[in-house]
Amino acid sequence: MYDFGYTKPSSLADAVAALAGDDEAKALAGGQTLIPVLKQRLNKPSKVVDLSKLGLSGITVTGDSVTIGAMTNHATVAASADVKRAIPALAALAGGIGDIQVRNRGTIGGSLANNDPSACYPSAVLALGATITTNKRSIAADDYFQGMFTTALEAGEVITSVSFPIPAKAAYIKFKNPASRYAMVGVFVATGPKGVRVAVTGAGQGGVFRHTAAEAALSKSWSPAAIDGVSISPDNMNSDIHASAPYRAHLVGVITKRAVTAAG
């Protein structure tokens, strides 16, 4: 690892000031992606700004929404009785990320700021029509994800929380890479105040995306059978040694059906 300066500010304003005006500064949330990246010398930040002392952890559930602080780790979301009651699919998704040790450190804000094309959380944010709140503004999920490892976040902009409208039904199913267990294809389906929404992670070259053909079919009939005959082009699918693009396109249909079955 290249060495870097390190700062652990105690206010959001100080953290933003430390990040602003320094293109080489990096924000550190749980570090479960950033630290491995630094170890491989794929990144050489001037300084690392640790967000752990900004008071950004915590979960608030109201009658129609679940709001999760950006620094809340996956284990906390998975174990939250409130989240399990309000959006069980979200708690289950959090409990399936990585392994226990990764879930004890990794955070929702870090996952969303990184926008890894195989990350689980982006699918929940997009399918539930969540709102991402930063130090500057609120960003709708549909505007937030802008391609692999690319988001609407500007330089010096820090996610503070994510607010999920509570759906009537939802489920997340992922087809795991057999060795590393990341989502080769993950599908989050939801029906509720935002209508029927289906978001796919792991499959697309551009990161998470909405499966609009499946949404149209499920809007007519919320049932696994509605997915029969709905296809998706392999043109923009990832292709690697683990799965070809046509295989991933096929999996999108299979996993969408399983997710609708699981949502009930």
Partner 1 sequence: MPQVTLTVNGKAATVEVEGRTLLVELLREKLGLTGTHVGCDTSQCGACVVHVDGNSVKACTMLAVQADGSSITTIEGLAKADGTLHPMQEMFREHHALQCGFCTPGMVMAAVDLVAKNPQGLTEEQIRHGLEGNLCRCTGYHNIVKAISAAQPLMHAKAAE
| Residue 140 binds partner 1, judged by CB under 8 A | no
Nearest to 202, CA basis, from 166, 164, 165, 172: 172
Residue from 85, 136, 137, 181 touching partner 1 (CB under 8 A): that is 181
Stretch that binds partner 1, among 15-23, 30-38, 144-152, 245-253 (CB under 8 A): 30-38
Instruction: Please tell me the distance from the alpha carbon of residue 27 to that of residue 19, in angstroms, as a whole number.
Output: 7
Paired residues of 61 in beta bridges: 66
| Residue 4 binds partner 1, judged by CB under 8 A | yes
Nearest to 51, CA basis, from 165, 199, 180, 156: 156
| Residue 35 binds partner 1, judged by CB under 8 A | yes
Instruction: Please tell me the distance from the alpha carbon of residue 226 to that of residue 222, in angstroms, as a whole number.
Output: 7
Q: Of the two residues 7 and 135, which places its CB atom closer to partner 1 in the complex?
A: 7
| Residue 6 binds partner 1, judged by CB under 8 A | yes
Instruction: Please tell me the distance from the alpha carbon of residue 240 to that of residue 99, in angstroms, as a whole number.
Output: 23
Nearest to 214, CA basis, from 192, 196, 202: 196
CA 226 to chain centre: 26
Q: How far is the CB of 117 from partner 1 (least distance, A)?
A: 18
| Residue 104 binds partner 1, judged by CB under 8 A | yes
| Residue 32 binds partner 1, judged by CB under 8 A | yes
| Residue 55 binds partner 1, judged by CB under 8 A | no
Q: Applying CB under 8 A, which residues contact partner 1?
A: 1-6, 8, 28, 31-32, 35-36, 38-39, 47-48, 50, 52, 75, 98-102, 104-105, 180-181
